[in-house]
Amino acid sequence: MLLQKYRENKEALKQIGREALAESRRMGLTISAKDRQNEAKDSTKQERRGDRSPVTAR
């Protein structure tokens, strides 16, 4: 139960970060190199997930 909540919170925080980056871009602010690396890593992971069938949670 706690592990499931941890995963949900982790994903929610990642989503908040993605939205913050998108808002920063809309406002014309500079994006740090670390944020760009994380964004590239995240998009790579999402592409890989698209190739796999979803795993059911226990």
Whether 15 and 8 have beta carbons less than 8 Å apart is answered as no
Domain boundaries, the chain: 21-45
What b/e string do you get for 23-56 counting C-beta neighbours within 10 Å, with b at 16 or more? eeeeeeeeeeeeeeeeeeeeeeeeeeeeeeeeee
Predicted TM-score (pTM) of the model is 0.63
At 10-58, the pLDDT tens digits run: 999 989 998 999 999 999 999 899 999 988 888 888 788 775 555 555 5
The CA distance from 5 to 50, in Å, is: 23
